[in-house]
Chain A
Amino acid sequence: MSEDLIDLDGGQTRMEAAYGSDDGDEDLFAITAKREASVGAIFEQNYRPWDGDFGPRWVRNYAIFRHHVFGLFSSKGHRNYNPFIRLTILVIFIGAISPIAMLFFSSLFGAEPDGFIDKMWGVNRSNLWGQVLGYFPRNLCYWPLLTALVVGGMISDDRRNGTSAIYFSRPVTRVDYTMMKYLSVAVVLGFVIIFSYMLYYTLAIVFKGEGWGFLIDTLPMFLAGLLCSILLVITYTSIGLALSSISQSRFFSAIAFLSIIYGTKLVALLIDLQFETSILYILSPYDCLAHFGQWMLGLELNYSHSLSLSVVSLILMNLVSILVLVSRVSSLEVTRE
């Protein structure tokens, strides 16, 4: 730290001091505050108009999208995700790609084809289905928790804090606002669910050194699984955002989402165990997806009710959720500030 030393003889400043000791008394200097502090400053309020052109609609929409998605990685101009949420998403992603590690080790140690490791983690109908729609751990722990964390405050935070006004006082339509929120959630979920699925399939081929024949054999299964994973992302995003739009609390929307996913499953399971009918599984978003996925991948169906009921239920769930979301946002009055 530097202080200005001002010569008392210079006449610029005066300091009354008691010369009670000899140390330093002979030096006619005093440490004072910087002289600039007493000078003061007037800043010029010179407003310069802006004559640039505003970008089109997609530029504005991209600004909303990046604000919500890039916040997972950086906070510069982005939505702030709690470090705990970031960490949890990372853990879920690592969990989702954990079969890749097993495939890697099996390739290192030269595991036998159709051996234990290959059956457990190799590319086959069951494992491709399980990579997205397997109940434990993915649909019990990973995907619902991931969705609840991402979607929790997506709209409810805006409603509670009045920050939706930040968007609505700009040339951002409510349709754009809703679409970009939807896309942001879908991309984050998609990054973990769909990307981990694609990574698993691709690296399985690479690690095992499979050829074109394997690719041709398994590609339809892979694409069926991919379609299921896209449906899962869409369904969870729709339900989650609809709940976020009717709530002013991120906690409520997250808990409500988990309740719907786990609650419907639990009730259907209890009814199934008691009365040996799987019909109530049509109320469970996960089971509708799992049912459809089993059919898509050519697996034996675990459900006794008709597949069409699950498909219709799935479509209705998505329609109702999107309807709730759109009607809530389009009529959203920002009365809270």
Chain B
Amino acid sequence: MSDDIKVPSVLVENVSKWYGQVIGINDVSLAIEGGVTGILGPNGAGKSTLFKLLMGRIKPNQGSVKLFGIDPWEDTSPYRRIGYVSESERLYDWMTGQDFVSTLARLHGMTRNEADSRAEHVLEFVGLYDVRHKEIGKYSKGMRQRVKIAHALVHDPDLIILDEPLHGCDPIARTSIMNVIKELGNQGKTVLVSSHILEEIERITEQIVILHNGRLLALGNIYAIRDLLDKHPHRIMITTEEPRKLANAFIGEEPIYGVRFPEEGKLEIQTNDLSAAHSVLPRVIVESEVKVSRIDNPDDNLESLLEYLIGG
């Protein structure tokens, strides 16, 4: 048997999980390896259920979950390579940040000195070094989120699972945590991060998984997924003083099949091929001699994508 066969960090095959009459995850299959992947979906989509299944907190009713090729419910060894930040995990509030991270490091089998030194490093990495001797109960929400990330990183995992890590954080903490996540992805680690704030995911990664009502709706690069949505044309919004003159110039161009005037001073052009439309855009504008102040792609973002996928 060849050793070259790469086992994905996360492999979920036909997994379903229901809580009584309520379905949490419905026949989901996916494989994830390397980089940062955003898990998206509205509340109740099944994001946290998926993470709990990955972390062996709950058992699937159907299908199998494998981390590094091993079922975590049967064998906990994959957790040596996994760091997990749950959405609202209770922490040991009476402990200092240093004690907390160090104590959990020892649950991985580190010696006291190793645990202390590693705890110091990860607390420094998440920007809590100066307050590491303060009790967690006195930390702000952002600091608590960061100490959770620190404890998930203390054993240098290959797979990091972050359930709503930005929830409740102030803008500075959000930026700081997003930088941490991006940096981990850059280092080649597999990072799964869930959020229902789409702009945040867009700032972190282009690789996404979209869940809705427990079902997997889409998986892959955000722009590649957008291109696959043929029934929802791409829109380009142009702000100009003479929208009708400009619209006239666009009619007849190959990639453009429709124009609209949504409001005063705005022209919306519709196309099925966004890149081709952008390539003709400069020429048409120049030839029409119309002054253009702004060009936007209003539906080429995660929010529109999610809206199209979920709303049909």
Chain A interfacial positions (CB closer than 8 Å to B)? 43, 45-52, 54-57, 59-60, 63-64, 67, 75-78, 80, 161-163, 165-173, 333-335, 337
- The 0/1 profile, CB within 8 Å of A marked 1, for residues 94-107 of chain B is 11000110111011
B187 close to A (CB within 8 Å): yes
Instruction: Report how far A50 CA is from B153 CA in the complex, Å.
Output: 10
Instruction: Report how far A161 CA is from B93 CA in the complex, Å.
Output: 12
For residue B89, which residues in chain A have a CB less than 8 angstroms away from its CB? 162-163, 165-166, 337
For residue B92, which residues in chain A have a CB less than 8 angstroms away from its CB? 80, 163
Q: Are A45 and B19 in contact (CB under 8 A)?
A: no
How close is A82's CB to chain B, nearest CB, in angstroms? 10
Mostly helix, strand, loop or mixed at chain A's interface? loop
Beyond A166-B104, A169-B79, whether A76 also contacts B99 by CB under 8 A is: yes
Q: Are B57 and A63 in contact (CB under 8 A)?
A: no
Q: Which residue of B lies closest to A175 (CB)?
A: B76
Contacts A/B (CB < 8 Å), 18 sampled: A47-B184, A50-B118, A50-B155, A51-B156, A59-B111, A80-B92, A163-B90, A165-B89, A168-B56, A169-B55, A169-B82, A169-B84, A170-B107, A170-B108, A172-B79, A333-B58, A333-B59, A337-B88
Q: Are B79 and A75 in contact (CB under 8 A)?
A: no
Beyond A45-B183, A75-B95, whether A333 also contacts B107 by CB under 8 A is: no
Instruction: Report how far A63 CA is from B111 CA in the complex, Å.
Output: 10
How close is A301's CB to chain B, nearest CB, in angstroms? 48
B274 close to A (CB within 8 Å): no
For residue A168, which residues in chain B have a CB less than 8 angstroms away from its CB? 55-57, 76
How close is B111's CB to chain A, nearest CB, in angstroms? 7
Beyond A63-B103, A170-B108, A335-B19, whether A50 also contacts B156 by CB under 8 A is: yes
Q: Which residue of B lies closest to A51 (CB)?
A: B156
Q: Are A170 and B76 in contact (CB under 8 A)?
A: yes
- The 0/1 profile, CB within 8 Å of A marked 1, for residues 103-117 of chain B is 110111111001000
Q: Are A47 and B107 in contact (CB under 8 A)?
A: no
B257 close to A (CB within 8 Å): no
For residue B90, which residues in chain A have a CB less than 8 angstroms away from its CB? 161-163, 337
Beyond A45-B125, A163-B90, whether A334 also contacts B58 by CB under 8 A is: yes
For residue B79, which residues in chain A have a CB less than 8 angstroms away from its CB? 169-172
Instruction: Report how far A54 CA is from B110 CA in the complex, Å.
Output: 6
Beyond A45-B179, A45-B180, A50-B155, whether A335 also contacts B109 by CB under 8 A is: no
How close is B94's CB to chain A, nearest CB, in angstroms? 4
Instruction: Report how far A80 CA is from B94 CA in the complex, Å.
Output: 7
For residue A47, which residues in chain B have a CB less than 8 angstroms away from its CB? 125, 153, 180, 183-184, 187
For residue A49, which residues in chain B have a CB less than 8 angstroms away from its CB? 156, 187
Q: Are A63 and B106 in contact (CB under 8 A)?
A: yes
Instruction: Report how far A67 CA is from B55 CA in the complex, Å.
Output: 23
Instruction: Report how far A63 CA is from B114 CA in the complex, Å.
Output: 13
Instruction: Report how far A51 CA is from B114 CA in the complex, Å.
Output: 11
How close is B129's CB to chain A, nearest CB, in angstroms? 8
Q: Are A171 and B108 in contact (CB under 8 A)?
A: yes
Most buried by B among A56, A64, A166, A170: A170
How close is B53's CB to chain A, nearest CB, in angstroms? 10
B52 close to A (CB within 8 Å): yes
Q: Are B110 and A52 in contact (CB under 8 A)?
A: yes
B206 close to A (CB within 8 Å): no
